[in-house]
Each structure stands twice: as C-alpha cells, then as structure tokens.
Structure 1
Amino acid sequence: MDKKAIISKSRININEGAPMYVGVSLILLLILALSIGFAVNLGSVDISIKEVYSIIFYKIFGIGNEEILSNGAVHDVVWLIRLPRIILAMLVGIGLSVVGIVMQAIVKNPLADPYILGISSGASLGATISVMLGVGAIFGSNAIGICGFIGALVTSMLVLLIANIGQRANSIKLLLGGMALSSVCSAFSSFIVYFANDAQGMQTITFWLMGSVAGAKWEQIMFIMPFVLIGTIFFLTQHKILNLMLLGDEVSITLGTDLHKYRHAYLIIASLMIGILVYASGMIGFVGLVIPHIVRIILGPDHKKIIPIAALLGAIFLIWADILSRVIIKGTEIPIGILISMIGAPCFILLIIRNTYGFGGKS
C-alpha cells in the first residue's frame, strides 16, 4: 500500500455524522442542566426549589437579599453540602471519561481504562502508607487523598521509565510495565496491612478505595477544576494525533509523525488528571472504561467528536450515580464506587457479548 492510500485510509471525515453529533451534544447539555437542577433540590432536608435557586443566584450573581441568603441552615445545606458534591461528581465524570479515551488510544487497547497502567495500585499504596504508617500527617484531613495522588503519579512515571529501558516505549511495553508495577504496588500494600495489624486503618483505606464525593468542598473543587477542564481542552486539540494512535506506530511513521513523544506527554498529563481525581474522590472504576465505548458505538472513533460527548455523558452518569447512592437505601449512603461497579460491570459484559468493545463499534 502506497503512502497516498494509507493517508486516504487514515483520514476520518469530520463532516460525517455531523447532524447526529450536534443533536447528541444539545440533548446531553440539556440533560446535564436538568440533572444538576434535580440533584441540588434532592436531599433529606426539605427545601423548596425557590429557596435553592435563590441561594445559588445570590452566590453566583449577587442577586437577592443578603441577610436572608448569605447564611443560615438552608444556605449551608444548599451551598456548602449539596452543590459542591454535584460539581465534584460532574468533574470526576468528565475527567475519568476523557482520560479513559486517551488511555485507550495510548495503549491501543479498547479494554484499557484510566487505571490500566498501575495507577490504581499506586494510589492504593499511597493511601495505605498514609493510613498505616502515618506518612503525610502534615496534610491533615487531606493526607489520604494527597498520598494517593502522589502514589498514582509516581507509579505512572515509573511505568514510563521502565517502558523506555532498552528501547523506546510502545503501547505493549507500557501495558506490560503497568501490569508489573501494579502487582508490585499491590504486594507492598498487602505487606504493610498485614504487619500493621490495624483493623480501623484497614476500614479507612477500604472506604476511601470505594470512592465518594460526599466530602466535597469548594476549596477542593477550585483546585481540581483547572486540571480537569484544561486537560480536557488540551486533549480535544490533540484529536488528530489520538486518531493516528489508533492506526499504530508503523502507519504514523509512514505518514511522517512519530508518536513516541506524544505518547509520553499524553501519559504524563492523563496521569496528573487521574492523580488529582484520586485525591478528590478516591477510586471510582468503570466510568473511563464503559463511557468511551458507548460514545464510540454512537459516533464512531473520531476523537474530535467523542471527547466532548464522553465528557458530557460522564458528567451526567456520575451525577445520577451520586443521586442513586443517596436515595437507593433510605437513611444511608452507598459509596459511589460500589454502585458504579454494580452498574458498570454488567454494562461492560453486555458490550462484550454484543461484540461492540472495539474502536468504533463492532469489531
């Protein structure tokens, strides 16, 4: 096959399916707005819709009576408890979905998820060291999250280092390096837990690993929001390279593009985003695995289309997962990670049974 034929084969018609893309985008934006409105009005404390939105409009636009809307129990429930967890759920959904798409392109494996390169095990080891050995106590209540972030980031950097030993990294070496480091981190976590013999500490780690957005605070959200939004925008601008990654290194070199440096840069940025999300919400699986497949089934493999759609769908999914975690059992809250795994695993099995787990629908 000559170069012109390869170029023609590798092109993705950006106008193909454009009406569907626009229609899906508008529908998801409307659903997202309605989901936020419904979620902020839902809770054990009965607050009218008028009170909810009066507080929100006052805090954002300064509209309304300051004496009534700037403090009090209703203000605290709406502005300090409900809205922060909804915004955090939205950001986590966006981040996990986008990084899932990127990771699948980096390792050229439709079964990859944001934690594929040992990032989850690295985060778990960081959290275990924090709880069992008291490392990071200087960070106070954020110690587990920050140590989990450090563990995730260090692990991803080690994967990159190992994959480049001997010869340049490729998708296979990254995958194998991630699997190896994941086993090492899991072994060290188990070793620490076994010898620490701390039942309460183990319970704390287990709860953190289940994932939750219940402890969301505005300061935390303002910290992670730039990472998630800037990272999402950055990867959207890289849609051509991400499309090329699906074709493989041989084709990309033939077309005059060396994917080596791009793969490194994308992995670092994606790992940073995951580390930040781990810090904020603990471990939440399946979102970055299932959402990209659903979007690809609808719109195909073009990253210019699927990244923004996946971000919207991931945000909606996490918001509703958080809603269900609060209401499915009256008087208690299920960790969101457990609920998503209960939903995500059957969905993924269904995709496998229907043979729609490839890059762009049926494989």
Structure 2
Amino acid sequence: MPTTPLAVGLALVLLVSLACGVALGATGMGWGHVLRLMWAGLSGGSLAPDDAAAYTIVWEIRFPRVVLAAVVGAGLAAVGVAVQALVRNALADPFVLGISSGAAVGANAVILFGALASLGVWALSLSAFLSALVATLVVYVVARSPLGLSPLRLVLTGTALAYGFQAVTTVMVFGAERGEAARAAMMWLLGSLGGATWPKVPLAAVTVLAGWLWLRLRAGSLDALSMGDETAAALGVPPDRLRRELFVVTAAVTGTVVAVSGAIGFVGLMVPHLVRMLVGASHARVLAVAPFAGAVLLVWADVLSRMLLAPTELPVGVITAALGVPAFLLLMRRGGLALTGR
C-alpha cells in the first residue's frame, strides 16, 4: 500500500478521533457545542456565562487528555519499531528493557508514600522519569560486555530486572495503607490518562517528536541492523554504536511517556506488526505510518476506558490488552508474526 496516502489518511482520522475523544464521555455534549468550546479555547474567544462548566470539562479535562493519548500512542508505536530493530526480535516492545517497571517504582513512591510532594503536580512524572533513567542505566551497565551490547543480553537483562522492579513495586503496594492510594497505584501500573493536564503535554510531545525524527533519519541504518551485525557492518553501519544510540533514544521516549501515562502495554508490540502488513518492512515506510496508527489506537482505547463502565473509569492498559491479545493470537495463527525477527 502506498505510504503517503495511508499516512495522510491516518492523520485525518486522528483529527476526527481527537474531536470524538473530546465530545464523548460520561457527560454528553452536542458536537456543535463541543466544537465551539474547543475553538474558544484555541482562539481565546469569549464564552457565554452558562458555558463555564462545560468549557472546563472540554478544555481543561478532555482536550489535554486526548492530545496526551495521541502523543503517548505515537511515542509507544515509534519506540516499538525501534526496540524490535534494537534486539532483532519481533516479540519485543518498549517495555522489554525493564524501563517501565523501573518507572513504576518511582511513581509508586509518590502515590503511596508522598515522595517529592513539594513538587506538587510534577512529583509523579518527575519521580517516574528519574527512576526510569536509573533503570535504564542499570540495564545498560549489566547488559554491556567486552564484546559490546548484544540483543540477547539486552533482552535477558531487561526481562530479569523488570521482574525485580515489579517485585519492589509489589512490596511497596502491600506495605502501604489500603485505600485510595493503593487504587491509584494500580491504575497507574495498568496505564491511565486520568491525570492528564496541559503542562504535561509539551515535554512529552517534544520528546516523542525528537525521537521519531531521529529514527526517521536512521531508517536506512535500522534496515541494515535488522539484517544482522555482519551485514550492517559490511554496509558501513557500526552495529554497536547504533545499538547504543537506539538504547538511549528508546529509554528517553519510553521513560517520558510512561511518566505521564503509566505502563500501557501492547501498543508498541502490535502497531509495528500491523503497519508492516500494510506497507512492508522498510523502516522509513513503517515509521511514516506507525505513529499515526498508534495515536489513533490509544485515543479510542482511552474513549472506551471512560465509557464502558461510566462513570467508573477503567485503566486504559486493560483496553489495549483486550484489543491486543486477540490481535496477537490471530497474527500468530495466520503466520503474520516472525517470532525470531524479520
């Protein structure tokens, strides 16, 4: 399928999805009313006195939430492509390196024990991001050997340390007082965009955009790396250096999006596969489409998380898992997954 029309089509679908994500929710609003309120927020226009409550719902709660969902979905999809190239394994996703599990330790320290409370609304995101960086450093140091940074050592080290970080998180949850804090911790561990605010959007958006642009520039090198280290070296691509760079970019983007949304699974695993089925294995083509597909997927997953049991909100990670597991099994049954790489 031609890449450009598909990317443009998905971009248009994303715009419609953003509008739907703002309009749909436990509190129903007419489309015309929602669009007027969105335009008032974007243009700084005046509001009628009786629009104040609806404007708060649209502009301060729903709009930043759907925008952040799109940013996180795009970031997870792009990093999913990068991780699968990094470890040359089609079953890899952004969390295989243990970064999200490390971020969970810092996030739960804030949720359960009030760490860094003096930072206010930034405490959770900053703590999660810092602990993700520490987890990244630990994985890198442990996985590195005199022979370089091999895919197998990365996967094994990331998986082992992820279990260790999860154990620490479990001890923290059981050691904390039961109640709303424990529920909030579980929501974060399963992924939630309920805490989305406008101040959280710019940093996540800039990080995701920078990571995606870097990956696009290195698309040819990623193609070479996916064919093996010897082939990459023969084509003039130093595999060890590229793998280190990929590791840093992956850690930065994953740590940033996990810090603002929690651990949302399956987006980074499934979207790259589905996109490859449409445009082929070329990383330039996949990276042109995957972020839009990931953004659309997560926007609608968040809509479902808000509406299925309204007014109760489900963790968005539950929705992505409910969608991802059947898709994953169907791909395996049809032979659409290369389990040992492409």
Q: TM-score over 0.5 for the alignment?
A: yes
Return the alpha-carbon distance in structure 1 between the equivalents of residues 170 and 41 of structure 2.
46
1:296 matched residue in structure 2? 276
Within a 5 Å distance, the mapping from 1:272-283 to structure 2 comes to 272-283=252-263
2:221 matched residue in structure 1? 241
Between 40-49 and 92-101, report the one with greater CA deviation.
Answer: 40-49
**How many residue pairs align between the two structures?**
341
Structure 1 residue 72 displacement after superposition = 1.3
1:44 matched residue in structure 2? 26
Return the alpha-carbon distance in structure 2 between the equivalents of residues 327 and 124 of structure 1.
26
Structure 1 residue 360 displacement after superposition = 12
Residue 188 of structure 2 is aligned to residue 212 of structure 1: no
Structure 1 spans left out of the alignment, 5+ residues: 1-16
Between 109-118 and 165-174, report the one with greater CA deviation.
Answer: 165-174
Q: In the TM superposition, what whole-angstrom CA distance separates every residue of 1:19-62 from its partner, at most 9, and x where no partner exists?
A: x2223223212211221222222233343323322232233234
Per chain length, whose mean CA-contact separation is higher, i.e. which structure has more relative contact order (CA < 8 Å, sep 6+)?
Answer: 2
Pair member with larger Rg: 1
Are the counterparts in 2 of residues 85 and 217 from structure 1 also a CA contact under 8 Å?
A: yes
Residue 93 of structure 2 is aligned to residue 117 of structure 1: no
Return the alpha-carbon distance in structure 2 between the equivalents of residues 74 and 132 of structure 1.
32
Residue 9 of structure 2 is aligned to residue 27 of structure 1: yes
1:155 matched residue in structure 2? 135
Among 26, 41, 52, the alignment partner of 1:72 is 52
Structure 1 residue 69 displacement after superposition = 8.6
Q: In the TM superposition, what whole-angstrom CA distance separates every residue of 1:299-323 from its partner, at most 9, and x where no partner exists?
A: 1111111112111111111111111
1:199 matched residue in structure 2? 178
Structure 1 residue 339 displacement after superposition = 1.3
Q: Aligned letter for 1:311?
A: P
Q: Aligned letter for 1:199?
A: R
Return the alpha-carbon distance in structure 1 between the equivalents of residues 29 and 192 of structure 2.
24
Percent pairwise identity: 33
**Scaled by the length of structure 2, what TM-score is found?**
0.92
Are the counterparts in 1 of residues 104 and 262 from structure 2 also a CA contact under 8 Å?
A: no
Are the counterparts in 2 of residues 55 and 69 from structure 1 also a CA contact under 8 Å?
A: no
Please, what is the CA RMSD of the aligned residues? 2.3
Residue 171 of structure 2 is aligned to residue 171 of structure 1: no
Structure 1 residue 127 displacement after superposition = 2.5
Between 134-143 and 258-267, report the one with greater CA deviation.
Answer: 134-143
Q: In the TM superposition, what whole-angstrom CA distance separates every residue of 1:271-302 from its partner, at most 9, and x where no partner exists?
A: 11111111111110000001111001111111
Within a 5 Å distance, the mapping from 1:1-363 to structure 2 comes to 20-62=2-44, 64=45, 66-68=46-48, 72-194=52-174, 196-200=175-179, 201-358=181-338
**Scaled by the length of structure 1, what TM-score is found?**
0.87
Return the alpha-carbon distance in structure 2 between the equivalents of residues 61 and 70 of structure 1.
19
Q: Aligned letter for 1:305?
A: R
Q: Aligned letter for 1:45?
A: T
